[in-house]
Amino acid sequence: MISTTGTGTHVMAAGELAGFGNDPWWLLLVKAVMIFVVLVLLTLFNIWWERRVVARMQHRIGPNVHGPFGLLQSLADGVKLALKEDLIPKAADKVVFIIAPVLAVIPAFVTFAVIPFGPEVHMFGESTPLQLTDMPVAVLFVMAIASIGIYGIVLGGWSSGSTYSLLGGLRSSAQMISYEVAMGLALVAVFLYAGSMSTSEIVAAQASTRHIDVLGLDVPVPGWFGIILLPSFIIYVIAMVGETNRAPFDLPEAEGELVGGFHTEYSSLKFALFFLAEYINMATVSALATTLFLGGWRAPWPISAFWEGSNEGYWPLIWFFGKMFLFIFMFIWLRGSLPRLRYDQFMAFGWKRLIPIALVWIIAVATMRAITLDGGLERSQVLIIAGIFVAAFLVVMFWPESKKADEPEVEEPPVGGFPVPPMPTHGAVRGAAAPLVFHEED
């Protein structure tokens, strides 16, 4: 199979997965340890970066004392958490209470086993891909392992013996079910276009540069699925924020309602493990979005067109982490910009908007894909149809819901007065007392 890129021709073997599983055991161990170290350091950096960015947005300074630019502040906080007194409530199920944080953090590390960081390189005298392993259903593996991590949050809330923690755990399970369905549906279109669920093969499927005719000009367009399948990309980005319990979708740990949510009763190192799992999951969904929608470790089009060696050696690590940090910055920007949603609004948005739109988009993509493969439509016609679907998608996504006819209208209070309760509707019980109306004090 041969795909043409801006830098030349990339030849892929008939069995793309055949390059995995041939590394010696010590090299696999080295790559696994490197992934672990990178994720831990990445978590420390992301915590510092989030505090600095949010501080700048709020006209503050942020951490700037420990280490250069305050870079060691996250390490100091981690040491402080580890040395704190570890408390276990009397009403807690001690075994589950201790296992829950471990169950949340281990799957967060395991998911990075199938993420491709770069092409095949020479490492310690061996030729090996910059990826621990791959499999024909690698994306499904990531989603399955991420679902196991949710059990840690649910069991942690249940085992704490606290009402607030239990409600946070229940919210997390409902949130996972709702937004993981939308996330999975968003990925179906990617599987249809790539013809594979392997992460390395999906990256290879985005290698080609397409040329479209715009007003008589030959415009090169990267073959990223984030451009071709824009609605799927938007749905995935929204769903990944809900999946990781990040603001404005951080309902399982809403401190205004649930004190701290599922981790209210946790302290010391067990609380730090939950914190670590959240930030690694944020990096996981960002890395998956980079792999599935932004060409993975391949250089962006302007760079790849003018630099032939941009996709060789260890340079792709720069492009991969650069794209991933864009998504992490989006997480930080959302946290510093948007207020938390109401829980009913959040669930209604997932079930009434995201899932129906994702289903319709899958049908449209499958239809266009079948017609294109049969030679019935040209690429320009497909792009026009896709543009119509994108416009309809944006209209449906942000169209305000109509007010219910039977919903009573609340009178606006007079200036300086008290809120006025609504008048009874036609279905009110006969003989019921009239509502009290409060006016401005004399």
Residues 350-368: tens digit of each pLDDT: 898 899 999 988 988 888 7
- In a domain, residue 432? The reply is no
- In a domain, residue 78? The reply is yes
- In a domain, residue 279? The reply is yes
Q: Which residue, among 435, 441, 387, 388, has the nearest Cα to 416 in the 3D structure?
A: 441
- Residue 99 belongs to domain spanning: 2-398
CB atoms within 10 A of CB 21: 10
pLDDT of residue 442: 44
Residues 272-284: tens digit of each pLDDT: 998 899 899 999 9
- Tell me the one-letter amino acid at 30: V
Per-residue exposure over 271-296, b if at least 16 CB sit within 10 Å of its own CB, e if not: bbbbbbbbbbbbbbbbbbbbbbbbbb
pLDDT of residue 250: 83
pLDDT of residue 2: 35
Q: Is pLDDT above 90 for 261?
A: no
Residues 414-438: tens digit of each pLDDT: 566 666 666 665 544 444 444 544 4
Q: Which two tokens stand for residue 123?
A: 């490492």
Q: Tell me how many domains the chain contains.
A: 1
- In a domain, residue 132? The reply is yes
pLDDT of residue 10: 41
Q: Is pLDDT above 80 for 403?
A: no
- In a domain, residue 425? The reply is no
- In a domain, residue 339? The reply is yes
Q: Is pLDDT above 90 for 190?
A: yes
Q: Which is it for the CA torsion 254, 256, 261, 267, positive or negative?
A: positive
The H helix count followed by the E strand count for the chain is 15, 6
Chain-wide mean pLDDT for the chain? 82
pLDDT band at 219 (very low <50, low <70, confident <90, very high): low
Residues 285-327: tens digit of each pLDDT: 999 999 999 999 998 877 887 888 888 889 999 999 999 999 9
DSSP letter (8 states) at residue 354? I
pLDDT of residue 95: 92
Q: Is pLDDT above 50 for 5?
A: no
Q: Which residues contact 166 (CB under 8 A, 6 or more apart)?
A: 157, 158, 160
Q: Which residues contact 159 (CB under 8 A, 6 or more apart)?
A: 92, 93, 96, 97, 100
The answer to whether residues 92 and 160 touch, using CB atoms and an 8 Å cutoff, is yes
Q: Which two tokens stand for residue 294?
A: 């932004």
DSSP letter (8 states) at residue 312? S
- In a domain, residue 406? The reply is no
Residues 27-42: tens digit of each pLDDT: 999 999 999 999 999 9
Work out the percent of the chain whose per-residue pLDDT is above 90. 35
pLDDT band at 341 (very low <50, low <70, confident <90, very high): confident
Q: Which residue, among 352, 355, 353, 381, has the nearest Cα to 368 in the 3D structure?
A: 381
- In a domain, residue 286? The reply is yes
